[in-house]
């Protein structure tokens, strides 16, 4: 389907994020609650972000959805996040409550190209802190696929401010960050791309989406991308960054979780990125219990979300492991992490 459909077809088939969100609210009997965030000053129209759960919860996840920067959030995305909020809030008495704010960032190529999406993510984080009055210690950053790459771009920006992006200075670190299958490299020259037969993605479509995100191709002139797409920009491709880039990251975010599927095409770039991240994390005193990696051995791209999208009623072990990591943060309510630096292989 991805190989034979074009942007016009996907726009006709898939609803915009706001409509997917409104559908979820109708299904769950809730009133839609959204924020409009100014990005480039008070005269800007800004960008929308949508609440899943109570905006007054103790802990809020700023979530950046996947879709190759070109696709809206899917019903599966919001169903997964809605279920996550319900399950975590029902886990145990006395734990902090949680909600999720889903950013409907501008889609490439017709709405905006890189780095507009980073500007929107930075502005939304600032809105939570300055306008909503939240401490960064009550905010978790989350994202999957392209959204995971965007989350890493935001962390990079906080560490190394990018010109033209709203400056983010945190008085205390964010409570955490969790990423599903983050898109950390546009190159398709990794050995794990042989997993196409067991995954939901393909090199063909990722090259095209990357070219659109970088402004090298517009929606009215789609063609096969035969070159290996490169941005040469660490804010677009986190794998480019050397370990030293991540020095001091523990002063920006208390702890991190990275999920990767053992049978997905992005397996090798993600694991290569994590190796660099861990080195940088520890180099200037970051605790060894600050980064957790979960690998779903036989799972495809964004496995925990895909499991819900496919309508499966039972949770896979890696999905349970992600929820356990988040529940630990709800128990601690912003205190130092107690989970270890390890790789967990979940069947």
Range(s) of the domain holding residue 339: 7-346
Residue 289 has which token pair? 């219990």
Per-residue pLDDT tens for 182-206?
999 999 999 999 999 999 999 999 9
Q: Which residues are within 8 A (CB) of 22 and not within 5 positions of it... i.e. 6 or more apart? A: 32
Rounded to whole angstroms, what are the CA distances from 307 to 77, 138, 300, 303? 11, 28, 10, 6
Domain total of the chain? 1
Angle at 62 between CA 59 and CA 67, to 5 degrees: 145
Residue 87 inside a domain? The answer is yes
What pLDDT, on the 0 to 100 scale, is given for residue 41? 58
Residue 283 inside a domain? The answer is yes
CB 107 within 8 A of CB 68: no
Residue 1 inside a domain? The answer is no
Residue 337: pLDDT band by 50, 70, 90 thresholds? very low
Residue 214 inside a domain? The answer is yes
How many other CB atoms are found less than 10 A from the CB of residue 285?
10
Residue 54: pLDDT band by 50, 70, 90 thresholds? very high
Residue 109 inside a domain? The answer is yes
Residue 46 inside a domain? The answer is yes
- Containing H/E element for 108? none
Residue 252 inside a domain? The answer is yes
The alpha-carbon radius of gyration of the chain (Å, integer) is 19
Average pLDDT over the chain, rounded to whole?
91
CB 116 within 8 A of CB 38: no
How many other CB atoms are found less than 10 A from the CB of residue 74?
18
The model carries a pTM of 0.94
Per-residue pLDDT tens for 3-38?
777 898 899 999 999 999 999 999 999 999 999 999
Residue 2 inside a domain? The answer is no
CATH number, position 293? 3.40.50.1820
Edge-first strand order for the sheet with 34-37 is: 34-37, 47-52, 98-103, 59-64, 139-144, 176-180, 256-261, 291-296, 342-346
């Amino acid at each position: 389907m991805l190989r034979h459909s074009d942007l016009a077809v996907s726009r006709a088939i898939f609803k915009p994020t706001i409509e997917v969100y409104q559908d979820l609210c109708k299904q769950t009997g809730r009133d839609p609650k959204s924020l409009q965030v100014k990005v480039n000053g008070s005269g800007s129209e800004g960008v929308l972000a949508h609440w899943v759960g109570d905006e007054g919860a103790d802990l809020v996840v700023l979530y950046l959805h996947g879709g190759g920067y070109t696709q809206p959030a899917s019903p599966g995305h919001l169903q997964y996040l809605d279920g996550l909020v319900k399950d975590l809030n029902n886990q145990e008495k006395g734990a902090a409550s949680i909600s999720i704010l889903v950013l409907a960032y501008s889609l490439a190529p017709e709405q905006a190209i890189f780095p507009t999406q980073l500007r929107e993510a930075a502005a939304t984080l600032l809105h939570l802190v300055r306008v909503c009055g939240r401490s960064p210690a009550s905010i978790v950053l989350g994202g999957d696929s392209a959204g995971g790459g965007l989350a890493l771009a935001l962390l990079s920006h906080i560490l190394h401010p990018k010109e033209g992006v709203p400056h983010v200075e945190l008085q205390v670190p964010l409570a955490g960050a969790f990423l599903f299958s983050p898109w950390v490299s546009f190159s398709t020259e990794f050995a794990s791309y042989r997993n196409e037969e067991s995954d939901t993605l393909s090199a063909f479509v990722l090259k095209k989406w990357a070219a659109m995100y970088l402004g090298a191709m517009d929606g009215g002139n789609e063609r096969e991308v035969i070159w290996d797409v490169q941005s040469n920009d660490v804010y677009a491709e986190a794998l480019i960054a050397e370990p030293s880039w991540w020095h001091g990251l523990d002063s920006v975010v208390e702890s991190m979780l990275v999920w990767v599927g053992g049978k997905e095409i992005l397996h090798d770039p993600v694991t290569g990125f994590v190796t660099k991240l861990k080195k940088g994390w520890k180099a200037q005193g970051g605790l060894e219990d600050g980064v957790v990696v979960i690998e779903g051995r036989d799972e495809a791209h964004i496995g925990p979300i895909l499991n819900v999208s496919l309508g499966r009623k039972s949770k896979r072990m890696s999905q349970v492991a992600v929820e356990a990591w988040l529940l630990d943060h709800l128990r601690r309510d912003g205190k130092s992490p107690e989970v270890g630096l390890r790789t967990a292989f979940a069947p």
